[in-house]
Amino acid sequence: MKPVEKAHYKTVIVGGGIVGAGIFRDLVMNGVETLLIDAGDFSSQTSERSSKMLHGGIRYLENMDFPLVFEALHEKNLWLKLTPHLAKEVPFYLPVYSDSKRPLWMIRAGLYLYDLLSSFKNSPFSMKNKAECLNAIPGLNPERLKGAGVYYDGIMDDAKITLEVIYDALEEEHAFAKNHTMVTNVRKINNKSTLTLKDQFTGIESNITCDQVVYALGPFTDTFLKQYDFYHWQDVLLPSKGSHIWIKASDLPIKYPIVMTPQDEFGDRVIFVNPHGEKVLVGTTEVPNKDNLFDVKPTEEEIAYLLKNLNTYFPLLKLNASHIIGSFAGIRPLVRDDNSSGDRGKTSREHKIYQPCSDTYVIAGGKYTTFRVMGREITQKICHRFHKSFNRDKTESSLRRKSVISPFAWHLPTASDLKKICETEMPKTFEDLVKRRLSISTRAIWKENTQKDFDSYFEEHINLLNKYFKVTSADIARF
């Protein structure tokens, strides 16, 4: 990796989630020297805690968010082409019951509109009768089932896409990135931003200056910026917590994603049930966040809610907490809408850009699928600031460096694989390696992927790993 111990950078991006990664790649591909920094590992918060979908957002049609859906569908189809090893198109089944809020004719109209907004680049939707639906989804509750609409979206590995966007940016000689580096202070000196950076392992602090700073902090935007009076920052976010659970595929044996639309007090909440190899992801909830923004966890109530709805749709499976092999929660950084009632399901997923100082940009909101185009306004202005021509099409190119371990072709890493990961993919901790470079979030998921004992495998390779970052037997046992 290139050294980054410089005193000054043209642009610094604070926040190494998917939005920061996208702006980073856009800037450096257009010739602007840029440093990307994150307090933890890249993609270790919201950007690895999504519903693992590249999608247009079919439920946003009812909010009349047609421009957002149009943009998201085109971006979805672009990334399906650019990262086929990380994302793939699959049919989503939307079962309709006699008491469903939306009858089959309405679903048909909505799915036609969805395909129309994709410029008919989606695989075409179809409608299934009851028998066809039950044949495709064995175990689905047949009581009052009328049929299903089937449309196409993408499933993906969210953390891996973020990481590979960063790796691609680092192919440019004027691109630099540091994870596990916290911004502990920001000052204005001679009209330049001075950032104090703290190495999270050594505790050593250093100062850097930059001509432009971009904050892509996701749910941490308000709490970070309100620390500094010169930004005059007022809260802009409506944080929404979304929780998910992983179920073994053998306990929930479905081939295709299912869209569940509960009829309950939560209104228009949608729950996706998405197969991912040997496991199935179920989520999400949508509740106001009251927890610490870092490393949030699902509550027992949220898990019970997801299980209750699973059992409504699949009553014969009798799923309970013992079938869960993993869970996670993330905070969606929704932007407050002046006309919003506070209903997070109705709050727009549009992003907003702010400029609290002449050299400072803040981006908030948006949705994962549109990350590439969300920061385009910022990158264009920064390019013009440095007299660089801006080509909006450069980031439509394929990524130049793939991860060693691909989620859709997972294999047990060899010693050579681990060495290459440590040398090229920037893990700094055991968790960085296992969760985001190997795509293993829990021991139970490891067990589903391989028969190799977790502890013995990593103890066997502990000396190799210690050449790159500190790993102890306690770290392995704690995971």
41-60 confidence digits (pLDDT tens): 999 999 999 999 999 999 88
Domain CATH for 133: 3.30.9.10
Predicted local distance difference test score (pLDDT) of residue 96 = 96
Average pLDDT score over residue span 152-158: 96
Verify that 360 and 427 share a domain, yes or no: no
Domain CATH for 382: 3.50.50.60
Residue 378 within any structural domain of the chain:
yes
Q: Report whether 37 contacts 197 (CB < 8 A).
A: yes
d(CA 133, CA 130): 5
Average pLDDT score over residue span 180-206: 94
pLDDT-wise least confident of 123-127, 180-184, 289-293, 422-426: 289-293
Residue 80 within any structural domain of the chain:
no
Q: What is the DSSP letter of 67?
A: H
Q: Around 190, how many Cα atoms within 13 Å sit in the side-chain half-sphere? A: 3
Residue 2 within any structural domain of the chain:
no
Verify that 436 and 301 share a domain, yes or no: no
Verify that 244 and 231 share a domain, yes or no: no
pLDDT-wise least confident of 270-274, 284-288, 317-321: 284-288
d(CA 277, CA 410): 9
Pairing of strands 8-14, 205-215: parallel
Residue 341 within any structural domain of the chain:
no
pLDDT-wise least confident of 117-126, 186-195, 266-275: 266-275
Average pLDDT score over residue span 430-445: 95
Residue 76 within any structural domain of the chain:
no
Verify that 249 and 387 share a domain, yes or no: no
Considering its fold, how many domains does the chain have in total?
A: 3
Asked whether residue 1 carries a pLDDT value surpassing 80, the answer given is: no
Helix (H) or strand (E) holding 240, with range, is strand 237-248
Verify that 205 and 351 share a domain, yes or no: yes
Q: Above pLDDT 70, what percent of the chain?
A: 96
Q: Which two tokens stand for residue 135?
A: 């044949």
Predicted local distance difference test score (pLDDT) of residue 387 = 95
Q: Around 306, how many Cα atoms within 13 Å sit in the side-chain half-sphere? A: 28
Q: Which two tokens stand for residue 284?
A: 């999400």
Asked whether residue 237 carries a pLDDT value surpassing 80, the answer given is: yes
Average pLDDT score over residue span 437-454: 92
Verify that 122 and 251 share a domain, yes or no: yes
* 327-342 exposure pattern, b = at least 16 Cβ within 10 A, e = fewer: bbbbbbbbbbbeeeee
Residue 219 within any structural domain of the chain:
yes
Verify that 23 and 111 share a domain, yes or no: no
Q: Which of 334, 297, 329 is nearest to 219 (CA)?
A: 334
Asked whether residue 129 carries a pLDDT value surpassing 70, the answer given is: yes
Asked whether residue 449 carries a pLDDT value surpassing 90, the answer given is: no
Question: What is the domain extent for residue 256?
Answer: 87-154+239-335
Average pLDDT score over residue span 367-389: 95
Verify that 299 and 446 share a domain, yes or no: no
Predicted local distance difference test score (pLDDT) of residue 285 = 86
d(CA 440, CA 276): 12
Average pLDDT score over residue span 84-92: 96
Verify that 250 and 307 share a domain, yes or no: yes
Verify that 262 and 330 share a domain, yes or no: yes
What are the two backbone dihedrals, phi and then psi, of residue 164, each rounded to the nearest 5 degrees? -70, -30
Average pLDDT score over residue span 238-255: 93
**Selected residue with higher pLDDT from 343 and 139:** 139
Q: Around 397, how many Cα atoms within 13 Å sit in the side-chain half-sphere? A: 14
Verify that 249 and 323 share a domain, yes or no: yes
Asked whether residue 280 carries a pLDDT value surpassing 90, the answer given is: yes
pTM for the whole thing?
Answer: 0.94
- In the chain, what is the straight-line distance between the N-terminal and C-terminal CA atoms, in Å? 27
Residue 63 within any structural domain of the chain:
no
Residue 186 within any structural domain of the chain:
yes
Predicted local distance difference test score (pLDDT) of residue 168 = 97
Tell me the DSSP string of 95-136.
Answer: EEETT-SS-HHHHHHHHHHHHHHTTT-SPPPEEEEHHHHHHH
pLDDT one-digit tens code per residue, 338-374: 655 455 555 557 899 999 999 999 999 989 999 999 9
Last residue of a domain, one of 335, 361, 379: 335
Q: Which of 329, 330, 307, 299 is nearest to 252 (CA)?
A: 307
Verify that 248 and 142 share a domain, yes or no: yes
Q: Above pLDDT 90, what percent of the chain?
A: 83
Task: For the chain, give the mean pLDDT.
Answer: 93
